[in-house]
Amino acid sequence: MYRAALLFAGVVFVAVPRAVNGQPSSLFIEDLTWVEVAAALEAGKTTAIIYTGGAEQNGPHLAFGKHNAVARSLSERIARELGNALVYPVLPYSPTGDPSKKEGQFAFPGTSGITDDTYGMVLRDLVLGAATAGFRDIILIGDHGGGQNVLKQTAATLDARLKSTGARVFYCDDLYYKSRDQFSQYLKDHKVTGEGHAGVEDTSAILYVKPEWVRKDKIAGKDSAKGVDGDPRNGTAALGKVQQDLKAKAAVDQVRAFVAGRNGQ
């Protein structure tokens, strides 16, 4: 027994340095040390993903963190499929309206958001930090409809500013727009109705990504007074998988095209 324990300890002792000196198992920068990030950059992980979520109400049946859950799940998947990327901490806020007017999503308690100006400044600082760290391709992605124009403008402005340093900044709009249109067509083809905020698409996404955030006993039909503009009753985890697959493919294909273009391929 004693000899077996010593043998096990020896295996652990040998294995630990390999885990430390090799590629980190996590693709989330928040899980890593600066030494591990530096090693990853040196090993070729030179693409940084800056993915923003949001915290808006989603009716009585969906938790506020819908966009953040999707952003965390998809950002890791995209980074893994790209093979050369790390993910910055998901930005949990995006533009959701004017809280001083208590309208739109702010008509419901708990919604939180930031202005377009604040959003743009935060994105700018995150991008500059990624460029300073040594990332060559910095990808901006937004899971929430609000702020897409800010993402586009910020990427264009900073790309022009940083290009001479060797860093490039790209706005990945296909994840939001292209995949949305594709999924909408998929629903039509399969005669599934209920699109709209907190409806079939949002509910399906969370049933697939984080089902504990769906209050199944609260799912009901469309009711704008309660923040539900679609019909969530047709939502399923299987539909959520289709949606997430479309989002991931749209993003990976577009990012690869960006990088190939910058390398003249």
What pLDDT does 68 receive? 97
Q: Which residues, at least 6 apart from 188, have a Cβ–Cβ distance to it below 8 Å?
A: none
pLDDT for 213 beyond 60: yes
CATH number at residue 127: 3.40.50.10310
What pLDDT does 106 receive? 84
- CA dihedral (100, 146, 226, 207) in degrees, to 10, reads -140
Q: Which residues, at least 6 apart from 66, have a Cβ–Cβ distance to it below 8 Å?
A: 54, 56, 58, 202, 205, 206, 213
Which of the four pLDDT bands, split at 50, 70 and 90, describes residue 262? confident
Locate tokens 């340095």: which residue?
17
- Judged by average pLDDT, the poorest of 14-18, 43-47, 135-139 is 14-18
Number of independent structural domains in the chain: 1
In whole angstroms, give the CA distance from residue 127 to residue 117. 15
Which of the four pLDDT bands, split at 50, 70 and 90, describes residue 22? low
Average pLDDT on 16-40 reads: 78
Residue at 36 is within a domain = yes
Which of the four pLDDT bands, split at 50, 70 and 90, describes residue 6? very low
Residue at 24 is within a domain = no
Of residues 217 and 113, the one with the higher pLDDT is 217
Locate tokens 């959701």: which residue?
96
Of residues 196 and 101, the one with the higher pLDDT is 196
Residue at 14 is within a domain = no
Can you give the pTM of this predicted structure?
A: 0.88
Domain of residue 66: give its range: 29-262
Residue at 149 is within a domain = yes
pLDDT for 96 beyond 90: no
Give SS3 for 182.
helix
Instruction: Give the amino acid at 24.
Output: P
pLDDT for 14 beyond 50: no
One-letter-per-residue 3-state SS of 200-260: HHHHHHHHHHCHHHECHHHCCCCEHHHCECCCHHHCCHHHHHHHHHHHHHHHHHHHHHHHH
Average pLDDT on 206-223 reads: 97
